[in-house]
Structure 1
Amino acid sequence: MTTEEKIFNAAKIVFHKKGYAGARMQEIADEAGINKAMLHYCFKNKQVLFEAVFKKAFHQLAPKINQIFQSDSSLFEKIKEFTNSYISFVIDNPYLPAFIIQEMNNNPEFVVSFLNDEKRPNPNLLIAQIEREIELGNIKAIKPKQLLLNIFSLTVFPFAAQVLVKGILHLTDDEFNQMMEERKTSIAQQIINSIKK
């Protein structure tokens, strides 16, 4: 394993435990089994390291999402596959939604940079498929982008507002994780039921 791989693995562990704000470079160096000077040689500060970790995670997720969007599967199957894949990804990378929200406020250029990445998820084929299903009378007339926004919102919000959700619903970490596992199928079914004719 290269030094960079050790750093990425260590950073994911520490960011997962402490979040971006609570993570310290010394903790990441200790977790990676290297000294802090070496860590700073590879990544000058925590922001640069986190952006690198985020980009790596994003480049793992984006191809999966594009594969779903561009597949020959039915619309309903794509909705099921998307909610399953996205929620699985965020369960494995729970620090990402809060980081994205923070960066949208503090560093919008970084957010724009990954949204302009050529590997970003491209929903155009899925939007066209939704429009065809409406024309064929298979689903209710709904604006495709509103449907996608509904799917994104239902999958993203609990993770982005995790502290709030746990507090209002009185959930332990394990209960929250179990609820997110259940949402892999419940969100898809809810969306499908809402657009079925």
Structure 2
Amino acid sequence: MVEETNKDQSTEQKILAAAKAVFMEQGMAGARMQDIADRAGINKALLHYYFRSKDKLFEMIFQEAVMKFLPRVNMLFEADVPLFDKIKGFVDSYITMMMDNPFLPLFVLNEVHKSPEDFIMKIWGGRTPPIMEFAAQVEREIGLGHIRPIKPVQLMLNMVSMCIFPFVGRPIIKGIFKIEHDQFMQLMEERKTLVADFVINSIRL
């Protein structure tokens, strides 16, 4: 029984790794279940035994990525650390998640447009994300004269949009600048520092 369970887990992980690679290469829309089965080295019937549809498979990969990302960000926002360190940590974590799962942004946009309430519930399970702690810290820093006045929501939007846009516009960016996947990923690695510095310098006195 234990051996059978381990085999099931091994096959499932092999499928998830294959699916992630196919989604990364072809996107959600372009990926086919047959491509995933071929990459995993199994037949399509076995793939459907573990995952009934491409959507179910993609959702599991999405949940896995979110469950790695959210606890880290939640702890960061709640931690007693300087604001600039939080900005650097958030940008690093966000871009790292996108680099590991560059197909996620478009999926997220589609899900949000379909039903914002359901999507928020799916991610946070009814719990309010600790964004208000971050907002309160921004307001305190402004009050103390440590940073330029800015609405916390605008600061957050600056951080998120600068992290996510290159991944949403990835095909266009790669096409215009004639760069391959590895070159794109190197640019994103550089953005971890570049974006954080840009945001911090925009509010630094």
The alpha-carbon deviation at position 168 of structure 1 amounts to 3.3
Report Cα offsets for 1:89-134 as digits up to 9, x if no partner: 2111111112222333456575344244257853121111111111
Partner of 2:171: 163
TM-score, normalisation: structure 1? 0.90
Question: CA contact under 8 A between 2:83 and 2:137: conserved in structure 1?
Answer: yes
Q: What does residue range 66-105 of structure 1 map to in structure 2 within 5 Å?
A: 66-105=74-113
Partner of 1:141: 149
The alpha-carbon deviation at position 32 of structure 1 amounts to 2.4
TM-score, normalisation: structure 2? 0.87
Question: CA contact under 8 A between 1:69 and 1:123: conserved in structure 2?
Answer: yes
Q: 1:108 to 1:75 in 2, by over 3 A?
A: closer
Partner of 2:60: 52
Q: 1:48 to 1:148 in 2, by over 3 A?
A: same
d(CA) in 2 for partners of 1:79 and 1:116? 21
Count of matched residue positions in the alignment of Structure 1 and Structure 2: 197
Question: CA contact under 8 A between 2:16 and 2:61: conserved in structure 1?
Answer: yes
Unaligned ranges ≥5, structure 1: none
The alpha-carbon deviation at position 67 of structure 1 amounts to 1.7
d(CA) in 2 for partners of 1:46 and 1:75? 40
Question: CA contact under 8 A between 1:98 and 1:160: conserved in structure 2?
Answer: yes
Q: What does residue range 112-131 of structure 1 map to in structure 2 within 5 Å?
A: 112-118=120-126, 121-131=129-139
Report Cα offsets for 1:110-165 as digits up to 9, x if no partner: 53442442578531211111111111111111100110001000000010111122
Report Cα offsets for 1:49-91 as digits up to 9, x if no partner: 1111111111111111112111221100111111111111211
Partner of 2:38: 30
Unaligned ranges ≥5, structure 2: 1-5
d(CA) in 2 for partners of 1:127 and 1:108? 22
The alpha-carbon deviation at position 169 of structure 1 amounts to 3.4
Q: Find the partner of 2:198 among 171, 190, 193.
A: 190
Question: CA contact under 8 A between 2:74 and 2:130: conserved in structure 1?
Answer: yes
Question: CA contact under 8 A between 2:15 and 2:37: conserved in structure 1?
Answer: yes
The alpha-carbon deviation at position 179 of structure 1 amounts to 1.5
- Tell me the secondary structure at the aligned position of residue 49 of structure 2: helix
What root-mean-square deviation, in Å, do the aligned CA atoms of Structure 1 and Structure 2 show?
Answer: 2.0
* Equivalent AA in structure 2 for residue 49 of structure 1: L
Q: 1:109 to 1:194 in 2, by over 3 A?
A: closer
